[in-house]
């Protein structure tokens, strides 16, 4: 599975790559960025790898060749595999699968929420699906005779439904039994992450009750992706890396999510890699078939 960031272990990397030249380091980093960001092995075609690394000179192509020969090997699918990358991707996939299964088991079982009854769970579901009160008037159209819908952000009329304010305290209280350090600010951040990634508008509390614990249990990865997206936006607007780091720290603190220097660095590096790939694709699209590798 693909992701916006991946763990990078400087000690392990340095021990395995101390003999590489600067150009070879660059080639290996680009190839690993592609590997992790797409969640799949590299194509075996050397021309495709040259284009991926933007290796258009003979010396650059030789560097790509040496890196591929040392760190990648062909698999049964005729693609080039890196053993460590495959292991990390497998661990990530198993981790997400366990979280998903645990979330479904915990929140789909009637009466399984700590300190709540089945009736309370159903009442909470009904509160989010069809809130009975709201202080926000409807933005468009005639006021319905039925209960108003949960408020939406400006410009988000067609987007996913946000839990109504009167249902948030009950859900937060139930989750705090599972996550004792869960604050109101972090909870609302988790709700916002779930709302933004939903492909279709969620219609019941059961959706949030399954999805929010998954976000909180996988908090480092969720925060890393959250910060990487903001970093990519700032890089696209030509902000300096130092300014981006300061902004990410303030953003994490404002949402009461844990962060550290390593996470900030990883987020910026992931954003830089994503931005490079996006610009390369845009450049190739403008050029038609993309730049040809000179022989």
Dig out the tokens for 134 from the structure.
């709201």
Return the pLDDT at 21: 94
Greater confidence (245 vs 113) lies with 245
> Which band of pLDDT confidence, cut at 50, 70 and 90, is reported for residue 88?
confident
**Range in 65-74, 97-106, 126-135 the model is least confident about:** 126-135
Q: What is the pLDDT of residues 254-273, one digit of tens each?
A: 888 887 888 888 888 888 88
Average pLDDT of the residues of the chain: 75
Q: Are 174 and 113 in contact (CB under 8 A)?
A: yes
Q: In the prediction, which pLDDT does 53 show?
A: 94
d(CA 18, CA 117): 59
CA dist., res. 181 & res. 86, Å (int): 34
Q: What is the mean pLDDT of residues 38-56?
A: 91
Contact 49, 293 (CB under 8 A): no
Q: CA 202, 252, 97 angle in degrees (round to 5)?
A: 50
- The pLDDT value recorded for residue 5 is 67
What is the residue extent of each domain of the chain? Answer: 10-89, 220-287
CB 33 within 8 A of CB 228: no
What is the rounded distance in angstroms from the CA atom of residue 264 to the CA atom of residue 248? 7
Residue 67 tokens, joined: 């890196």
- Residue 151 per-residue DSSP state: P
Does pLDDT of 178 surpass 50?
Answer: yes
Tell me the average pLDDT across 50-57.
Answer: 92
pLDDT band at 210 (very low <50, low <70, confident <90, very high): confident
The average pLDDT across 269-284 equals: 81
Q: What does the pLDDT read at residue 11?
A: 86
Q: What is the DSSP annotation of 248-273?
A: HHHHHHHTT----HHHHHHHHHHHHH
What's residue 111's pLDDT?
52
């Amino acid at each position: 599975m693909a992701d916006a960031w991946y763990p990078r272990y400087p000690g392990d990397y340095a021990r395995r790559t101390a003999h590489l030249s600067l150009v070879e380091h660059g080639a290996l980093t680009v190839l690993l960025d592609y590997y992790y960001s797409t969640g799949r092995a590299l194509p075996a075609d050397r021309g495709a790898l040259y284009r991926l690394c933007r290796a258009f000179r003979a010396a650059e192509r030789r560097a790509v060749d040496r890196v591929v020969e040392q760190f990648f090997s062909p698999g049964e699918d005729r693609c080039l595999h890196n053993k460590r990358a495959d292991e990390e991707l497998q661990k990530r996939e198993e981790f997400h699968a366990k979280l998903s299964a645990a979330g479904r088991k915990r929140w789909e079982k009637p009466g399984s929420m700590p300190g709540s009854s089945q009736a309370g769970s159903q009442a909470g579901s009904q509160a989010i699906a069809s809130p009975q009160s709201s202080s926000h008037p409807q933005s468009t159209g005639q006021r319905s005779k039925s209960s108003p819908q949960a408020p939406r952000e400006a410009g988000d009329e067609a987007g996913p439904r946000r839990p109504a304010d009167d249902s948030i305290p009950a859900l937060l209280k139930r989750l705090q039994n599972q996550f004792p350090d869960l604050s109101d600010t972090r909870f609302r951040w988790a709700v916002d992450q779930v709302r933004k990634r939903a492909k279709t508008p969620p219609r019941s509390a059961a959706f949030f009750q399954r999805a929010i614990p998954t976000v909180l249990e996988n908090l480092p990865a969720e925060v890393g992706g959250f910060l990487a997206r903001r970093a990519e936006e700032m890089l696209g607007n030509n902000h300096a890396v130092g300014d981006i780091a300061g902004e990410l720290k303030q953003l994490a603190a404002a949402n009461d999510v844990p962060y550290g220097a390593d996470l900030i660095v990883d987020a910026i590096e992931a954003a830089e890699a994503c931005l490079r790939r996006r610009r390369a694709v845009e450049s190739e699209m403008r050029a038609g078939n993309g730049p040809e590798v000179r022989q």
